[in-house]
């Protein structure tokens, strides 16, 4: 059974700092991995999608990496801003069995001005 773990559960950093959010998964037979952002009381916004054959994806100040063999992904946020404050969710998609997406519990990020 696929399990997804995100560390840390919460993180507080000063504005301008570079930071890394971690995601680990137990079953390396994934189809893709997706990072989402969720603001309080809101839905999910997709940030980056990494296919299983890819090693990383970049969008602006965000960079996500994937190491399937070790069951790990990281989301790197450069030059953090108060507007980055949100919960970040990692989700892995199975390649079989209905193509289900399994989520981690998320990392709550607070960027202090």
Binding mask 6-45 for other proteins (x = CB under 8 A): x------------------------xx-x-x----xxxx-
C-alpha to C-alpha distances, 8 to 11, 60, 75, 97, nearest whole angstrom: 7, 23, 12, 30
Is residue 4 a contact residue for other proteins (CB under 8 A)? yes
Task: Return the residue of 7, 8, 18, 99 that touches other proteins, per CB under 8 A.
Answer: 99
Alpha carbon distance 6, 53 (integer Å): 22
From residue 76 to residue 95, the character string flagging contacts with other proteins as x (rule: CB under 8 A) and all else as - is -------------x-x-x-x
Q: How far is CA 14 from CA 18, 33, 36, 61, 72, in A?
A: 9, 28, 22, 16, 26
Binding residues (CB under 8 A) for other proteins: these are 4, 6, 31-32, 34, 36, 41-44, 46, 49, 51, 89, 91, 93, 95, 98-106
């Amino acid at each position: 059974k696929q399990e997804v773990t995100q560390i840390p559960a919460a993180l507080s950093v000063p504005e301008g700092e570079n930071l890394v959010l971690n995601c680990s998964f137990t079953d390396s037979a994934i189809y893709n991995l997706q990072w989402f952002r969720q603001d309080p009381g809101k839905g999910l916004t997709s940030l980056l999608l990494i296919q299983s054959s890819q090693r990383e994806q970049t969008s602006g100040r965000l960079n996500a990496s994937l190491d399937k063999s070790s069951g790990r992904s990281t989301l790197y946020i450069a030059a953090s801003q108060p507007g980055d404050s949100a919960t970040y969710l990692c989700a892995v998609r199975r390649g079989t069995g209905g193509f289900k997406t399994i989520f981690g519990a998320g990392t709550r990020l607070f960027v202090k001005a």
